[in-house]
Amino acid sequence: MKLTAEKVNEIFMDCLFKDGEDTSEHVKAEGVITKVGFHPTRLKTHKDEIRQLLSELPTNFRSTSGGGWSFLNACVDANGNHWGEYRSIDELLCLGIATKQAKILFPKEMWSAFPGSMPYFSVL
C-alpha cells in the first residue's frame, strides 16, 4: 500500500462515526491539529492498513531505530517522496495514536521549544 494523502483521508473518514451511531464507546486521539473520537470497530478493521502506512514514513520515526522525529518531517515518505500536507500528517498521526501504533513524545507545553513549535512523534 502506498502512503498517500487520499488513502489516509479515506481511512480516517471511514473510522469516524456516522450520523445516528452511538459514540459512547469512542476511541479518542489527539494529534497536533485534531481531536477526534473514532468508531472502535471500524478503527480495528483498518489497523493493519494504518500500520502499513506508518511504516512508509522515514526510519527516523521508528521507535526501534530513530526514536522519533519532528512532525515537520513527516510530509515525505521513506523514499523522499512528498506525500501530504499537515492535515494529512495529523490524520495519520491520530489513526496511529488511536491504534496504539504511534505516540507524541513530549507534552504540548514543551512543543514551543521545537522547530516550528511542532512535536516529535514516534511510530511504535
d(CA 62, CA 96): 12
d(CA 75, CA 69): 12
Q: In 16-55, which residue ranges form alpha helices assigned H by DSSP?
A: 40-45, 47-55
Report percent pLDDT > 90 for the chain: 98
Is pTM beyond 0.85 here?
Answer: yes
User: Band of the pLDDT at 23, cuts 50, 70, 90?
Assistant: very high
Q: Which of 108, 107, 6, 123 is closest to 57 using CA atoms?
A: 123
User: Band of the pLDDT at 8, cuts 50, 70, 90?
Assistant: very high
Q: Given this model, what pLDDT does residue 72 score?
A: 96
d(CA 123, CA 111): 18
Q: Given this model, what pLDDT does residue 73 score?
A: 97
